[in-house]
Structure 1
Amino acid sequence: MTDIKMIALDMDGTLLNDNKEITSWTKNQIRKAQHAGITVVLCTGRPFPHCHTYIQDLQLHSHSITCNGGQIYAVDHSVMIEHLFDTATLANLYHFAQGLGMNTWTISTKEAYYNDLPENCSAYQWLKFSCSHKDEEVLNKMAEKVQSIDGVEVSNRTAFTVEVNPTGVNKAAALEWVCEKLGITMKHVMAIGDSLNDIKMIQSAGIGIAMGNAQKAVQQVADAITDTNNNDGVGKAIEKFIFGGE
């Protein structure tokens, strides 16, 4: 056994395979870690309602970090911390992205909107903005727009998407907050992820693991690289680095 007391797991591209499932073998490794007294925390860009069934399936009794650190949930699923957009900024980003012909997802504390915003936008509290396009030039224009606006930053970027959160909101900062509540440090955390929004938590963790399918920038900063999300990469990392398996 290592001195790891918490496992922080990204979801899409990491814990979940391409069918958005957790395999039985990986579930068993997670439960084995829990039985050994290790806390397992989901740390995802998803909003909480899109995590809940997985939390139930894994029988997790821990904090949850959602929207790239935009919200932190307690064990009883109540909101402990949330970081909100300025509404005018959110609307600005939405209209700019729509003008570029991008698809958009705007996530509020109530629900998510796809290619739309409610008429009474200012009556909502906004957590995260995401947009997608197949053209890299369009994505670059969107990223430049984000950089020109005070109070927000690109929290994740893939070949097709740009995700935006308030400045300073990220998974690592959220994990540090949870660790402080639990009386441990990031040295006691093993963090596993595949995307740019996972880099800071992988760098900050005692053991930072990149998935075999992770973006190259993620693999370059990780302590180790596990198998892919379609080949039990999370389960294999737990087996190797927590329980000393090969």
Structure 2
Amino acid sequence: MYKLIAIDIDDTLINDKKEVTPATQEALEQAVAKDVVVTLATGRAYASAQQIARQTGLNVPIITYQGALVKNLMDENVLYERYVPIYAARRLYEYCLENHLHLQTYINDKLYSREVNQKLIDYCELNKTPYFIEPVFSKVIEQPTPKMLIIDDPDKLDEITPVLHELLGDEVHITKSKPYFLEIMHREGTKGHALEFLAQHFNVDMKDTIAIGDSWNDHEMLEAAGLGVAMGNAIDALKEIADFVTLSNNEDGVKHVIDKYVLNV
């Protein structure tokens, strides 16, 4: 019997119109009615993720910043938090400055950038997130952050990823949430670590958990869960490691999983 479901948001829970469909909403409610813990696991900031979580009526801790922050929806208590090591943040900032890369960071759930550009504007439109500009960005870098993000051409990001692994060391986790978003967290800031933490928090055995996602940043939680599910629209690499491939985000893929494995429809 599955007792905890962690669901990615973008291209998983929500369709291409950025909506949770009524059919998927009903499935979530039916799962909760069966005492299944349903949570979100996203790369989004808490402020962005909580809007969707509240729309769906969920009232549990949610996994945000790729797993670097787990926070209650009701009282906003922080249950799990991992910051990018300061030395790594400094090195990353200097590297991005030297190589003219767009870097943004998050302090107290607010998004900061050194300057306004189209990458920042497009990102904030996509995530419905306000931004703050700090020209003296070295000030921001010294403050604790759950996630730093580089936005660039996918090929460029693939090219610099091994360089950043070498530069930043083993204390950080680097992943892509979308082809053009390269995200840097603490090494324990993964959806897999956060899922394990929540399972322990709710006293659920890992074999009784389901994780659903579409991108490579979901692979740790799919591998950690008792049932790892890739969306029909997921990248091929995720489908290859998944226990089950459901329908796409435009075909109520999340509902399909809940019907099959929780409601036994």
For normalisation by structure 1, the TM-score amounts to 0.91
Q: Distance in 2 between matches of 1:90 and 1:145?
A: 15
Q: Distance in 2 between matches of 1:79 and 1:41?
A: 15
| Contiguous gaps of at least 5 residues in structure 1 | none
Structure 1 stretch displaced more, 104-113 or 180-189: 104-113
Deviation string, structure 1 residues 1-48 (Cα, Å, up to 9, x no partner): xx0001100111111112221111111110111111111111111110
State the AA in 2 paired with 1:24: P
Deviation string, structure 1 residues 68-122 (Cα, Å, up to 9, x no partner): 1111113522112211123342243234235444433312224112454733225
Deviation string, structure 1 residues 169-214 (Cα, Å, up to 9, x no partner): 2111111111111111111111100111111111121111100111
Q: Distance in 2 between matches of 1:238 and 1:60?
A: 15
Relative to structure 1, the CA distance from residue 88 to residue 231 in structure 2 (aligned partners, 3 Å threshold; closer, same or farther) is same
- Aligned-residue sequence identity (percent) comes to 28
8 Å contact kept, 1:133–1:161: yes
Partner secondary structure for residue 146 of structure 2: strand
**Structure-2 residue corresponding to 1:51:** 49
Structure 1 stretch displaced more, 152-161 or 206-215: 152-161
How far is the alpha carbon of 1:168 from its aligned partner?
2.8
1:129 correspondence with 2:148: yes
Q: Distance in 2 between matches of 1:181 and 1:219?
A: 28
Q: Distance in 1 between matches of 2:198 and 2:177?
A: 25
Return the match for 1:181 from 201, 206, 211.
201
State the AA in 2 paired with 1:143: T
1:108 correspondence with 2:107: yes
Return the match for 2:59 from 58, 61, 71.
61
State the AA in 1 paired with 2:57: Q
For normalisation by structure 2, the TM-score amounts to 0.84
Return the match for 2:228 from 201, 204, 208.
208
1:231 correspondence with 2:230: no
Q: Distance in 1 between matches of 2:97 and 2:21?
A: 37
1:70 correspondence with 2:68: yes
Q: Distance in 1 between matches of 2:3 and 2:203?
A: 10
How far is the alpha carbon of 1:52 from its aligned partner?
1.6
Partner secondary structure for residue 13 of structure 2: coil
Q: Distance in 2 between matches of 1:189 and 1:197?
A: 18
How far is the alpha carbon of 1:65 from its aligned partner?
0.8
Q: Distance in 2 between matches of 1:21 and 1:102?
A: 32
RMSD value, Cα: 1.9
| Contiguous gaps of at least 5 residues in structure 2 | 116-132
Number of aligned positions between the proteins:
242
Partner secondary structure for residue 190 of structure 1: strand
Partner secondary structure for residue 231 of structure 1: coil
8 Å contact kept, 1:109–1:124: no
Q: Distance in 1 between matches of 2:35 and 2:42?
A: 22
8 Å contact kept, 1:176–1:185: no
8 Å contact kept, 1:97–1:142: no
8 Å contact kept, 1:175–1:201: yes
